[in-house]
Copies of this chain bind each other. A is one copy, B any other.
Amino acid sequence: MGRKIDMKKIEDITKCQVTFSKRRSSLIKKAQEISVCCDVDVAFVAFSPSGRISKFCSQKRKSKRSLGNFTTLKNLELQIKKSTLELQILEADLRDYEPGPEQEPSLHQLSWCERNIEQSLQRVMARKVSSKT
């Protein structure tokens, strides 16, 4: 599509931003299409050089609250515990970093991260429910 370009970083700032904007749009469009046509749950995230985040999530989460047996719940709980532990370890690691003067962008990113974690778990849970149906 368009004149061919080298697969390397576009040095011209303006050109790079334009390309990013255009490609991001079609990438998200494609993600939407595959989610609809193939009935899949997809997520796309991009951290731009300027620190901003672009994301797309096909929100086709199943409704919550559906009771059932607890056959393998132990395993699931174990995994969740492990994830929680990872978070705590990472929390400790974070102490080695310097936040810097600006704090808004990073806090936004952490907020995103937070939502991402939530959504990831929700996807897993939704998949868990649908896979047994």
Contacts and interface: CB of A to CB of B under 8 A. Distances in A.
Nearest to A6: B37
A77 to B, nearest CB: 7
Given A19-B38, A88-B84, A97-B66, A117 B114 contact: no
A14 interface: no
B113 A83 contact: yes
A129 B98 contact: yes
Interface residues of A, number: 90
B51 A106 contact: no
A123 B98 CA distance: 14
DSSP majority for the A interface? helix
A98 B68 contact: yes
Interface of A: 5, 7-10, 16-17, 19-20, 23-24, 26-27, 30-31, 33-49, 51, 64-73, 75-77, 79-84, 86-88, 90-91, 93-103, 105-107, 109-111, 113-114, 116-118, 120-125, 127-129, 131-132
Given A23-B30, A47-B123, 17 more contacts: A7-B37, A9-B36, A10-B37, A10-B38, A16-B37, A27-B34, A66-B97, A76-B99, A80-B90, A80-B110, A98-B129, A99-B128, A100-B132, A102-B131, A106-B128, A106-B131, A116-B120
